[in-house]
């Protein structure tokens, strides 16, 4: 098992390299560099000497291959470089943005996973009866609604009209909350974004879960379990659920991989300082180091999560580890 995992990790190094070099070259195709983006912010008035100085300052006076090699060489030394827009090391910038994204994604994925599981099971057990219809219809509605619209409507209802929850931001600014008050304050700020993002994931999970349950319920071992005289709850929890979970785990593995990418839309609507907005900003401002830094960290996370998912498969379905000779 561990040898398999090790092989997988080793195999991921070339793909990491391809991702980084590809991203670097792709961004060269976009017209304009970070000095052009800075000029756009300034509103002009930059003379040629100033712009040449800035290009030298941002290291843009070198050729593309030289910059790529420089970047890779620094990466080998675990140095992600310096962010043009933030004037700080990229690692620091990413670390500052990590908590909001991780918190948002963990909260909404957990929300979606738990309720997706629950509603998926309810729908499957009542297939083609009214609970199934209600759940499936709602799921479709959530899935089809754009998240920015959901977010904005939630703000209009809960923040503008009812004034129950804050309209945006990560915490109350300048209130000086500490301890439990601060935790509650941050939690209040994350309720609407979590629900907005979570409802879309929820729709996916519940549909997968429902389909998977229905499939497993028809299999022979379920009939055997029932024939043994097990009650329905035990059949569902011990036998059906465990097998029906496999597609869910696959899915959460795939989605957790994109976690660090964050959600540009939800982060923008709720003014959360997450990695999605950072990546967007980095593209608009042609901040190559920051963008590559995010790509690098995301790629690492994808590799790590896939590794965990492999282990989890083996645990849910003992045949997997054996068949692959681990």
Partner 1 sequence: MDFSRRAALMTSAAIAASVNAPEQALAQETPRRGGVMTVHFATEQRILNPSLQASTGVYIVGGKIQEPLVDLDANGQPTACLAESWESSPDGLAITFRLRQGVTWHDGKPFTSADVQFTAMEMWKKILNYGTAVQLFLEAVDTPDAHTAVFRYSRPMPLGLLLRALPDLGYVSPRHIYEGTDIRQNPANTAPIGTGPFKFVQYERGQFIIAERNPNYWRNNLPYLDRVVWRVINDRSAAAAQMEAGQILFSPFSALALSDLARLGRDPRFEVTTRGNEGNPRTNTLEFNFRNPLLADIRVRKALAHAINIPFFIENFLNTDYAKPGTGPIPTVSTDFYPSGPMPQYPYDKALAMRLLDEAGHRRGAGGVRFNLRLTPAPWGEDIALFSTFIQQSLQEVGVRVEIVRLDAAGFLRTVYNDWNFDLATGWHQYRNDPAVSTTVWYRTGSPRGAPWTNQFGFSDTVIDGIIDAAATELDHDKRKALYADFVRRGNGELLMWNPVEQLFLSAFNRRLRNYANMPRWGSSSWHDLWIAP
Picking from 260, 262, 288, 302, the residue whose alpha carbon sits closest to that of residue 71 is: 288
Is 59 a residue that touches partner 1 (CB under 8 A)? no
CB of 255 to partner 1, least distance (A): 23
Q: CB of 291 within 8 A of CB of 248?
A: no
Check binding of 311 to partner 1 (CB under 8 A).
no
d(CA 72, CA 68): 6
Burial code (b: 16+ CB inside 10 Å, e: under 16) for 38-71 equals bbeeeeeeeeeeeeeebbeebbbeeeeeebbeeb
28 binds partner 1 (CB under 8 A): no
Do residues 89 and 63 make contact, with C-beta atoms less than 8 angstroms apart? no
Interface positions, 260-299, toward partner 1 (CB under 8 A) = 268-271, 273-274, 277-278, 281, 284-286
Instruction: Using CB atoms within 10 Å of the CB of residue 294, give its burial: 0 to 12 exposed, 13 to 18 middle, 19+ buried.
Output: buried
Neighbouring CB atoms inside 10 A of 253's CB total 18
93 binds partner 1 (CB under 8 A): yes
Is 39 among the residues that bind partner 1 (CB under 8 A)? Answer: yes
**41: contact with partner 1 by CB under 8 A:** yes
Interaction between residue 302 and partner 1 (CB under 8 A): no
Stretch that binds partner 1, among 162-170, 202-210, 224-232, 236-244 (CB under 8 A): 162-170
Tokens of 61: 């006076």
33 belongs to the binding site for partner 1 (CB under 8 A) = yes
Q: Which is nearer to partner 1, 252 or 266 (CB)?
A: 266
Q: Is 152 in the site for partner 1 (CB under 8 A)?
A: yes
| b/e per residue 173-193 (b: at least 16 CB within 10 A) | eeeeeeeeeeeebbeebbebb
- Of 3, 48, 144, 180, the residue at the interface with partner 1 (CB under 8 A) is 48
Q: Does 326 bind partner 1 (CB under 8 A)?
A: no
- Chain positions contacting partner 1, by CB under 8 A: 30-34, 36-51, 57, 84-87, 93, 96-97, 148, 151-152, 155-156, 159-160, 163, 166-170, 173-174, 268-271, 273-274, 277-278, 281, 284-286
């Amino acid at each position: 098992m561990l040898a398999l995992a090790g092989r997988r990790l080793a195999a991921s190094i070339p793909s990491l390299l391809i991702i980084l070099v590809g991203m670097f070259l792709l961004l060269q195709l976009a017209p304009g560099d970070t000095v052009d983006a800075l000029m756009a912010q300034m509103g002009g008035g930059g003379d040629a000497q100033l712009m040449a100085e800035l290009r030298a300052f941002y290291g843009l006076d070198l050729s593309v291959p030289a910059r790529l090699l420089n970047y890779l060489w620094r990466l080998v030394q675990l140095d992600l470089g310096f962010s043009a827009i933030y004037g700080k090391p990229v690692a620091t910038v990413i670390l500052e943005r990590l908590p909001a994204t991780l918190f948002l994604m963990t909260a909404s994925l957990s929300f979606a996973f738990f309720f997706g599981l629950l509603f998926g099971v309810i729908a499957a057990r009542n297939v083609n009866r009214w609970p199934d219809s209600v759940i499936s219809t709602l799921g479709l509605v959530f899935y089809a609604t754009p998240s920015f619209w959901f977010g904005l409507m939630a703000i209009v209802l809960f923040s503008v009209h009812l004034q129950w929850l804050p309209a945006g931001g990560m915490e109350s600014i300048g209130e000086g909350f500490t301890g439990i008050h601060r935790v509650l304050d941050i939690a209040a700020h994350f309720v609407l974004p979590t629900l907005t993002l979570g409802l879309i994931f929820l729709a996916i999970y519940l549909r997968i879960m429902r389909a998977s349950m229905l499939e497993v319920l028809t299999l022979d071992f379920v009939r055997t379990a029932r024939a043994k005289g097990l009650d329905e709850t035990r059949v569902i929890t011990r036998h059906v659920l465990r097998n029906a979970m496999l597609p869910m785990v696959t899915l959460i593995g795939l989605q957790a991989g994109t976690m660090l990418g964050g959600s540009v839309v939800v982060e923008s609507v709720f003014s959360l300082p997450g990695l999605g907005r950072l990546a967007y900003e980095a593209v608009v401002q042609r901040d190559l180091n920051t963008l590559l830094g995010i790509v690098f960290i995301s790629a690492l996370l994808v590799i790590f999560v896939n590794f965990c998912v492999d282990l989890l498969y083996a645990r849910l379905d003992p045949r997997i580890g054996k068949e692959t000779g681990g």
